[in-house]
């Protein structure tokens, strides 16, 4: 006689505990910690909209995204959400950019709207 209870029917998969959600907007860097990466500002806006009602542990932003593209449309989306009283739920925003002026502008803008944001190296 087995010491285990009888198996009645198919085994059910137990979902794994969800890991942290780490999003990145960067045209070149691999961002190994990121669970999803957007390579343009348009993709970045779409990515954040997909996560509108979810908690995002970390958001990594690069200012310059190739050509004339910058992360500013993503920043504008975050600012507008805060202005409307529904800021995105983000643990921390990391701004990693070789453009010190652009990075400082992103940090200033997001900090003004209450996001936890800081400069970082990717």
Domain that holds residue 53: 22-119
% of the chain with per-residue pLDDT over 70: 85
**Does residue 106 fall inside a structural domain?**
yes
CATH number at residue 84: 3.40.50.2300
Tell me if 54 is assigned to some domain: yes
- Which pLDDT does position 122 carry in this prediction? 59
Q: Judge whether 62 and 34 are in contact, CB under 8 Å.
A: no
Domain count across the chain? 1
CA distance 111 to 83: 13
Q: Is residue 65 part of a domain?
A: yes
Does some domain include residue 50? yes
Is the distance from CB of 42 to CB of 72 less than 8 angstroms? no
Mean pLDDT by 10-residue block, N- to C-terminus, for the chain (122 residues)? 43 55 94 93 97 96 96 98 97 95 96 96 67
Domain contains 67: yes
Q: Let me know if residue 11 belongs to a domain.
A: no
Whole-number pLDDT of residue 32: 87
Q: Per the domain annotation, does 2 fall within a domain?
A: no
| 9: three-class secondary structure by DSSP | coil
> What pLDDT is attached to residue 14?
39
Q: Is residue 66 part of a domain?
A: yes
């Amino acid at each position: 006689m087995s010491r285990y209870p009888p198996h009645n029917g198919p085994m059910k998969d137990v979902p794994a505990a969800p890991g942290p959600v780490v999003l990145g907007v960067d045209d070149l860097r691999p961002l190994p910690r990121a669970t999803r990466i957007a390579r343009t500002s348009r993709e970045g806006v779409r990515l954040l909209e997909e996560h509108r009602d979810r908690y995002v542990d970390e958001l990594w932003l690069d200012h310059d995204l190739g050509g004339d593209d910058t992360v500013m449309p993503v920043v504008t989306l975050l600012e507008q959400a805060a202005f409307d009283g529904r800021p995105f739920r983000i643990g921390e925003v990391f701004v990693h950019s070789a453009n010190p002026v652009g990075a400082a502008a992103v940090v200033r803008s997001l900090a003004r709207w209450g996001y936890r944001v800081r400069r970082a190296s990717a």
